[in-house]
Structure 1
Amino acid sequence: MSTLPTLFVSHGAPTLAIVDSPANRFLRELGRTLPRPKAILVASAHWESRGGPAVSLATKPETIHDFGGFPAALFAIQYPAPGAPEVAARAASLLTQAGLAVAQSPTRGLDHGAWVPLHLMYPDADIPVAQISIVRGGSPAEHERIGRALASLREQGVLIIGSGSLTHNLYEFRGQPIDVPAPDWVSGFGDWMKARLDDNDLQALREYRTRAPHAERNHPTDEHLMPLYVAMGAAGDNARAARLHASYEYGILAMDAYAFT
């Protein structure tokens, strides 16, 4: 099996799972274009731990509906993929070897940062899945280090996915339609990120909070961008980024997806 790329996907609002949009259609196609992985490890913005990453050893991870006020059809979705406890245990070992403190959860299920994109990419739910957390308050460099520790899993057929959102300021949602154009403060941030990723300008990317235009407005808190750094680090040294998709939803959510090889 050839070494898999790592992915960063923007999961947007939970309704991405049920509402037709360019990002929805992209994710439905993405799973068909990738080599089939033996297992999947997802770093989701919706699982944060303190002091270091955590991994889930669940053998039958439940589908967590960690949101409210959405259509009943969304709560009806189940993603009954088998767990990947062996992959999670290997990830924990690699992280420990890299000098990171690691917690292990025996029961943690799949939050919507994991199951929403996987429901679209792999609707048969027949590929084992494990989750890894991001670290609350952790820097981009720290999350890149987490990814680097996991890089060898790719050679074992594990698809590593960072699931977050390239922009994520829900305070700016005003009930606008899904296809409203993005304002300059959203598109400008996305353009800056793409240019830095294209140039492999790691230092600028690590310092995005002070260097990117409108960084704090796009990310009042930055947990939704940290999965990108996990995916970037997991691709290994001298990794190159390729933007696979770019669209906007509700004007405020940049739905970019990147592959790192």
Structure 2
Amino acid sequence: MYALIHRMTLNAMVYAPNTPTLIGDLGVKHTETERALNEIGRSCADRIDTVIVVSPHFITSGGFGIVASERPKQLYDFYGFPDSFYLVKYDPPGNPEMGEMLIRELLKQGIPAGNATSWGLDHGAWSPLRLMFPDADKRVLPVSISPALGADSHLKLGMAIRKVSSEHDAMLLVTGSIIHRLDLYSKGTGEMPEEALKYLELAAKYMVAGSWEAIWNISHDLFIAASPEGGEYPSRVLAGSASNRMRGRIMAQELEFNAVSLTTILFSEGLR
């Protein structure tokens, strides 16, 4: 079993998939992933006021985008799905105060950031959130990745998230897939490359152990074979936010269409 230590800080971090198959019926079911997201939400519900969510579908170029609004709008940033997918509603409150704090902290460090008023909650954020907190009763603060700023800035973004969380009961949710080979799905090969599976094995092991540098030093050939969603930037944000005592537990690990990995990891200082 595990326990989460409660104090006003970043109480937990979660790495979770954001596949559209978590939204509706596409002929596959991910029972383990859905159970894990439900369980994490229940275990953290009393300790969490705000979820800071970093989605690889929210990409900005001139600086980090922070959706510091009272109620982030829901985005249906996908196409070609059944009509029922576009009827799913997820309408949580935002946390503009925390968003403005994060913007100020980043600017103080010389890292460009601003309020991304044109964005909101993309499916990379709300597809797992609706399983974790189905009542949409937690405040949500969407944050972008910005590849043009480079790896070090994403590490510093994570550090800034931890710093501004000192005044909130917060969770960091970073979404994506360690293996993200949609080209294999479109080709219909039916085979996951061994190199991609090796990358998944190593990356998940190092994430759980908090050995972040080891992730970024995995063979480039394995990295290319896996093509993780968002590249290395999601793990950089997690690394910057994590304390030295924060460790992870794999809650679920499934594969989808032999092209994408669905790995859910819960991180906490109180994990044991």
**Normalising TM by the smaller chain, what interval?**
0.7 to 0.9
Residue in structure 2 matched with residue 66 of structure 1 by the alignment:
77
Amino acid at match of 1:5: A
* Residue 149 of structure 1 pairs with residue 160 of structure 2: yes
1:246 to 2:258 alignment: no
Match for residue 23 of structure 1 among 12, 28, 33? 33
Whether the 8 Å contact between 2:210 and 2:247 is mirrored in structure 1 is yes
1:14 is matched with: 20
- Give the Cα separation in 2 of the matches to 1:96 and 1:228: 22
CA, structure 1 residues 16+175, in 2 after alignment: closer, same or farther (shift >3 Å)? Answer: farther
Instruction: Name the SS for the 1:5 alignment partner.
Output: strand
What percent of counterpart residues are identical? 24
Task: State yes or no: 1:56 paired with 2:67.
Answer: yes
Structure 1 residue runs without a partner (length 5+)? none
Q: TM-score, normalised by structure 1?
A: 0.87
> Contact conserved, 2:196 with 2:223, CA < 8 A, in 1?
no
Partner of 2:3: none
CA contact (8 A) 2:33 2:264 kept: no
1:162-218 deviation per Cα after TM superposition (whole angstroms, max 9, x unaligned): 112111121110486xxx78542332111111233345433332344xx25521122
Distance 1:57 1:227, change over 3 A: same
Q: Deviations over 1:10-31 (max 9, x none)?
A: 21x2122224312223212221
Scaled by the length of structure 2, what TM-score is found?
Answer: 0.83
Deviation of 1:134 after TM superposition, in Å, equals 0.3
Matches within 5 A, 1:1-261: 1-2=6-7, 3=9, 4-11=11-18, 13-19=19-25, 20-21=29-30, 22-36=32-46, 37-155=48-166, 156-174=168-186, 182-208=192-218, 211=219, 214-219=222-227, 223=230, 225-237=232-244, 239-261=246-268
Partner Cα distance (1:252, 1:27) in 2: 21
RMSD: 2.4
